[in-house]
């Protein structure tokens, strides 16, 4: 509850997180105000929170704003109550530690991540309640703070526990002054009571063990969660493997499963037989802990051992490399995992995709059987008995019979006896969306897709496209579910296009977009704004996905295909062809388009008759280095023809500011370019731009001199 305003605490409603974040932001603004009104408003807000709040969450906001205040002593009456609750110190140190790595609450949109990242950089985030108390103890608040500490001392039942150690650390009366004459420095350092020295010694020993475990855990998380294998050679892995026996078992920082997984995936050919055996046993020891079956025989994946769940699941396909173990048993475990993961949450879905990718690589026949099973299971679940808390002979028999049927279905998958999916039978049914989602995300990103997967992809894509043509009456759950399915598809679509071989990527793109019009460029009779927006968002997802990649070869295969589609069909998405998405204002270069100015010149020449706004958006940010000067005359010509109204003033101001700051000599050395820039500045001035007014004055004076 204490950390909700930072989005790093236990699961809490997003609305509550947002309200508390907004409250903190507003109060921080008031705390920086220099006038009396801001001060009074801040104090009034603090008073109201104390009077009406029935939760610690708003009090945590008061603590945060107080630590950020330039003159916290001036609001001491609101700070002192925070120092009188023991748990606040513990909760705030937890908040401080947990937010060191957290940038955002659950959610992956750029807006959320950027806002949280900026908030995380505020200077007062480096402080916590304990250090804040020490800081204020060295002010006129000394007497009041030490009186509070004395009350805590009297309330103690023991004098050598963690709380006693915390009190000792915070009590400046127990600090000793250490001088460093050679450095002309002094240091205030807490001097421990004798009864606490042994406690600290024991703590240091425990910390050493925890630090070793943490080092190992951080290494595994970097590889597994972040995909960073830069420090993952066999020698490094072996050094962490040696710590397996000393790693803390059954506790929070256990990384043994991660170490075992990394060994089997990345270093299998170099590992000794003994190392393979130990890693295999480590993985298999997690089977009964992680995979559970309910009364109906349905698998459920336990979240116990938070850092072991993902590596355990991802390690299962690696066991196919080992001839000495029972592969049929491994298949059973994998089937239980695949059908036990909860694809409705944002945690299990990425794991589902990762294990699918490895299965297609290591055992494609088995992966294909699972693919079919993910669709066929809908028939089985249609016969699922209703759960009853009242166990009778009848309900028990139904559960037992269904459990046998589930087990038989899984055996069929394991043997590979399921028939090919009949894509002609697919229909957009809300009850089937969850099955389609599983099928979509089980398709591998980079392994070349076969006919069966491609045919499903085409059919599912067409269903989602047709769903945009359905008219809904207001907001309802049906509309939300389908929109969620489209959003999920957009991201997968982008990954597929940028990961599949050239032939597949071209085929997938054309098949997807050919739904919009016939080969003569005539729009689908039912085409409307919703279908346009869906396809537009699919294109945006490709750009965003490419922004996370270094190699741009696949992107240009797709973008050249996109350009040709517009030539052959209909120029409907020129804005996206010109990379019109919401880029950061700080962006001046995108490596993906380096050396590609001719491509954009061709696009503008062919489709750019009314694209002045998108062109300016491009060259004001990521296209500035490549085309910022080159396209001056093109933009001026379009503005003379179409007017300035469609251009976003902020984009044009950003562009001319960069021209003035970074490319001034290029503009001044060309009379034609200077003339065009001055013309564009005049148009901006007419729109009320003071930025353009000042730059124009300076450029005119430069040109005269």
For 232, the token pair is 């993952």
Neighbours of 181 (CB within 10 A): 7
Q: Which one of 12-21, 112-121, 396-405, 414-423 scores highest in mean pLDDT?
A: 396-405
DSSP string of 248-317, one letter each residue: PTTSTT--HHHHHHHHHHHSTTT--HHHHHHHHHHHHTTHHHHEEE-TTS-EEE---STTTHHHHHHHGG
Of 330 and 433, more confident? 330
Burial class (CB in 10 A: 0-12, 13-18, 19+), 503: exposed
Query: Lowest-confidence range among 294-308, 400-414, 606-620?
Result: 294-308
Query: What's the pLDDT tens digit per position in 496-522?
Result: 999 999 999 999 999 999 999 988 888
Q: What is this structure's pTM?
A: 0.70
424, pLDDT greater than 80 = no
Per-residue pLDDT band for 425 (boundaries 50, 70, 90) equals: confident
Over the stretch 175-227, which tens digit does the pLDDT of each residue have?
A: 887 777 777 777 777 888 888 887 777 777 666 677 777 888 889 989 998 88
CB contact set of 253 (below 8 Å; sequence gap of 6+): 210, 213, 214, 216, 217, 247, 307
* Domain residue spans of the chain: 4-176, 251-419, 423-572, 574-705
Distance CA 512, CA 457 (A): 9
For residue 345, what pLDDT is reported? 73
Q: Residue for token digits 């937890």? A: 94
Give pLDDT, residue 477: 56
Copy the structure tokens of residue 480: 């939300």
Does 97 score more than 50 pLDDT?
yes
Average pLDDT over residues 113-133: 78
- For residue 590, the model assigns a pLDDT of 94
Of 604, 606, 625, 626, the closest CA to residue 615 belongs to: 604
pLDDT for 571: 92
Mean pLDDT of 298-325: 88
Instruction: Please give the Cα distance from 215 to 110 (Å, whole number).
Output: 30
Query: Long-range CB contacts (< 8 A, 24+ apart) of 323-330?
Result: 325/280, 328/414
> For residue 544, what pLDDT band results from cuts at 50, 70 and 90?
very high
Contacts 24+ apart (CB under 8 A), 264-271: 264/315, 264/318, 264/319, 264/321, 265/314, 265/315, 265/318, 265/358, 266/229, 266/232, 266/237, 267/234, 267/237, 268/318, 268/321, 270/234, 271/234
Inter-residue contact 313 to 349 (CB < 8 Å): no
The pLDDT score that the predictor gives to residue 122 is 79
CB atoms within 10 A of CB 214: 15
Q: What's the confidence (pLDDT) of residue 253?
A: 72
Record the tokens describing residue 111, joined without a space. Answer: 């807006």
Tell me the mean pLDDT in the region 396-420: 93
User: Given this model, what pLDDT does residue 449 score?
Assistant: 94
The rounded distance, in Å, linking the Cα atoms of 631 and 637 is 10
Identify the band that residue 262 occupies on the pLDDT scale cut at 50, 70 and 90. Answer: very high
Q: What is the DSSP string of 29-45?
A: HHHT--SHHHHHHHHHH
Give me the pLDDT at residue 105, please: 42
Higher pLDDT, 483 or 230: 230
Stretch 435-453: mean pLDDT, rounded?
Answer: 92
Residue 102 has a pLDDT of 45
Q: Which residue, among 213, 278, 215, has the nearest Cα to 250 in the 3D structure?
A: 213
Note the pLDDT of residue 115.
66
Q: Which of 460-474, 601-615, 650-664 has the lowest mean pLDDT?
A: 460-474
Q: Find, among 256, 244, 325, the residue nearest to 286 by Cα.
A: 256
Asked if the model's pLDDT at residue 385 lies above 60, the reply is yes
**Residue 390 binned pLDDT confidence (cut-offs 50, 70, 90):** low
Residue 591 has pLDDT above 90, yes or no: yes
* Confidence band for 534, pLDDT divided at 50, 70 and 90: very high
Residue 472 pLDDT exceeds 60: no
Q: Which two tokens stand for residue 537?
A: 């968002």
Confidence label for 103 from pLDDT (cuts 50, 70 and 90): very low
pLDDT interval class at 117 (50, 70, 90): low
- Position 352 confidence tier, pLDDT thresholds 50, 70, 90: very high
Alpha-carbon gap, residue 671 to 195, rounded angstroms:
83
Size of the chain in residues: 705
**Are the C-beta atoms of residues 301 and 341 closer than 8 Å to each other?**
yes
Give the residue, 112 or 419, on which the prediction is more confident.
419
The pLDDT, as a whole number, for residue 244 is 65
CB-based contact 319:330 (threshold 8 Å) = yes
Q: How far apart are CA 225 and CA 235, in angstroms?
A: 21
CB 312 within 8 A of CB 264: no
What's the mean per-residue pLDDT of the chain?
88
Predicted local distance difference test score (pLDDT) of residue 250: 46
Confidence of residue 107 (pLDDT cuts 50, 70, 90): very low
Residue 41: what pLDDT? 92
Residue 197 is inside which H or E element, if any? Answer: helix 194-224
Nearest to 422 by CA among 379, 459, 383: 459
């Amino acid at each position: 509850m204490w950390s909700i305003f930072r989005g790093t605490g236990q699961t809490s409603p997003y609305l509550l997180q947002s309200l508390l974040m907004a409250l903190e932001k507003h109060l921080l603004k008031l705390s920086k105000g220099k006038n009396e009104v801001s001060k009074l408003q801040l104090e009034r807000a603090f008073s109201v929170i104390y009077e009406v709040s029935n939760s610690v969450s708003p009090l945590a906001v008061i603590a945060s704003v107080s630590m950020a205040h330039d003159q916290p002593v001036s609001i001491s009456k609101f700070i002192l109550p925070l120092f009188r609750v023991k748990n606040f110190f513990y909760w705030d140190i937890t908040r401080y530690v947990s937010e060191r790595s957290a940038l955002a609450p659950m959610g992956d949109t750029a807006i959320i991540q950027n806002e949280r990242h900026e908030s995380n950089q505020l200077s007062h985030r480096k402080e916590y309640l304990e250090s804040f108390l020490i800081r204020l103890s060295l002010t006129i608040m000394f007497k009041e703070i030490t009186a509070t500490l004395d009350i805590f001392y009297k309330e103690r039942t023991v004098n050598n526990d963690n709380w006693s150690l915390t009190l000792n650390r915070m009590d400046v009366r127990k600090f000793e002054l250490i001088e460093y004459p050679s450095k002309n420095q002094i240091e205030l350092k807490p001097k421990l009571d004798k009864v606490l020295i042994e406690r600290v010694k024991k703590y240091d020993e425990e910390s050493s063990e925890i630090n070793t475990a943490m080092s190992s855990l951080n290494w595994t998380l970097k590889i597994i969660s972040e995909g960073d294998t830069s420090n993952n050679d066999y020698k490094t892995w072996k050094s962490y493997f040696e710590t397996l026996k000393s790693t803390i078992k059954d506790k929070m920082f256990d990384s043994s499963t991660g170490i075992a997984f990394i060994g089997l995936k990345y270093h299998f050919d170099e590992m000794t037989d003994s190392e393979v055996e130990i890693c295999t046993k480590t993985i298999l020891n997690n089977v009964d802990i992680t995979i559970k079956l309910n009364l109906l025989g349905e698998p459920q994946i336990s979240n116990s051992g938070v850092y072991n769940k993902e590596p355990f699941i991802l390690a299962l396909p690696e066991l196919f490399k080992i001839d000495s173990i029972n592969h049929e048993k491994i298949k059973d475990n994998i089937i239980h995992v695949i059908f036990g993961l909860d694809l409705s949450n944002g945690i299990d879905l990425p794991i589902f995709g990762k294990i699918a990718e490895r299965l297609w690589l290591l055992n494609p026949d088995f992966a294909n059987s699972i693919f079919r099973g993910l669709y066929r299971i809908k028939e089985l679940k249609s016969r699922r008995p209703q759960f009853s808390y009242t166990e009778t002979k009848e309900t028990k028999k139904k559960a037992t019979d269904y459990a046998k049927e589930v087990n038989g279905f899984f055996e069929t998958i394991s043997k590979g006896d399921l028939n090919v999916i009949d894509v002609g039978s697919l229909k957009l049914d809300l009850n089937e969306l969850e099955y389609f989602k599983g099928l979509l995300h089980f398709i591998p990103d980079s392994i070349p897709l076969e006919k069966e997967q491609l045919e499903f992809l085409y059919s599912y894509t067409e269903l989602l496209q047709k769903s945009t043509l359905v008219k809904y009456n207001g907001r309802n759950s049906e509309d939300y579910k389908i929109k969620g399915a489209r959003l999920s598809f957009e991201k997968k679509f982008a990954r597929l296009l940028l990961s599949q071989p050239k032939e597949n990527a071209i085929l997938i793109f054309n098949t997807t977009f050919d739904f919009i019009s016939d080969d003569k460029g005539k729009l689908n009779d039912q085409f409307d704004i919703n279908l346009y927006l869906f396809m537009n968002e699919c294109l945006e997802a490709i750009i965003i996905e490419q922004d996370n990649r270094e190699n741009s070869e696949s992107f240009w295969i797709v973008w050249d295909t996109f350009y040709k589609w517009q030539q052959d069909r209909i120029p409907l998405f020129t804005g996206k062809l010109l990379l019109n998405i919401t880029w950061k204002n700080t962006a001046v270069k995108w490596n993906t388009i380096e050396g590609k100015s001719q491509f954009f010149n061709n696009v503008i020449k062919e489709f750019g008759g009314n694209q002045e706004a998108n062109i300016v958006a491009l060259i004001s940010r990521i296209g500035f280095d490549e085309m910022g000067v080159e396209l001056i005359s093109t933009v001026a010509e379009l503005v003379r023809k179409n007017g300035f109204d469609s251009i976003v003033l902020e984009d044009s101001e950003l562009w001319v500011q960069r021209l003035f700051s970074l490319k001034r000599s290029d503009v001044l050395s060309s009379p034609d370019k200077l003339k065009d820039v001055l013309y564009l500045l005049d148009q901006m001035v007419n729109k009320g731009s003071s930025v353009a007014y000042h730059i124009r004055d300076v450029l005119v004076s430069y040109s005269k001199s």
